[in-house]
Structure 1
């Protein structure tokens, strides 16, 4: 009897998770949340994206990937999230939240989904300054300060 209740509970939790999952898509230089535009996206190159506020076209986020001048050695790669309007920069080598095997568009979609989940971005595409600061505390690895050149 308990196994049956556990199975029902698990299916219920899974169905709620699937129901509340938000669809993020970058299409025609727009970030769409459940098919509603929330940001403008600009792919500068394979390792750099800019995201803009739709209301006033301010650049709010710049993503840059770095190979640390060793293209064949990926263990020292890192990325920078520069929240421009908040003047906060985050450096990390943990690609687990955004990795999407050589597909920069899918990686950026995962990045936006992560920022929404962490409440750094609102559902309207605005930055939440308090959550940006918390995000920095949680994920910033301060790589350039630790790197000897």
Structure 2
């Protein structure tokens, strides 16, 4: 009897997660949040994306994957997020936040969801400078400065 109640409670709580989650889709170089365009996206190549505002077409975010000049050794790979209008760079090895096997568009959709969840980007596609600073504190590993070349 207790297991049935726990299962029912779990399913009930899980349904709230699906109900309140936001849908992010990148289609035809448009970033759509619940069907409304909030940003423009440009895929430079498999390893680089840029995101632009709707208002004045300014590039606000650039994502770049770095293999650290060791293409066959993946343990030192990382990605760079540049919040261009805020002049803030975040380098992190936590690729799991956006990982998607061989589908960069899906990975970028996960990136936008992550930034929305962290409130770095609001529902209008605008950057929140205070949240950008907090995001940098939480996730930046400062890889470039501690890498010997």
Taking only aligned residues, the RMSD between alpha carbons, in angstroms, comes to: 1.0
In structure 1, the residue matched to 2:12 is: 12
Separation in 2, partners of 1:81, 1:65: 9
SS in 1 for 2:145: helix
Shift of 1:11: 1.5
**Residues in 2 aligned to 1:11 and 1:119: alpha-carbon distance in whole angstroms:** 27
Q: Secondary structure at the match of 2:144?
A: helix
Whole-Å separation in 2 of the counterparts to 1:29 and 1:4: 46
Aligned pairs for 1:1-149 (under 5 A) are 1-149=1-149
Give the TM-score normalised by structure 1. Answer: 0.96
Give the structure-2-normalised TM-score. 0.96
Distance 1:97 1:18 in 2: 19
In structure 2, what is the Cα distance between the partners aligned to 1:102 and 1:82? Answer: 22
Q: CA deviation at 1:8?
A: 2.5
1:103-129: CA deviation from partner (whole Å, max 9, x where unpaired): 111110110010001111101111111
Deviation sequence 1:49-95 (CA, Å, 0-9, x none): 00001011110000011111111111111110000011100001110
Unaligned stretches of 5+ residues in structure 1: none
In structure 1, C-alpha distance between the alignment counterparts of 2:144 and 2:11, rounded to whole Å = 45
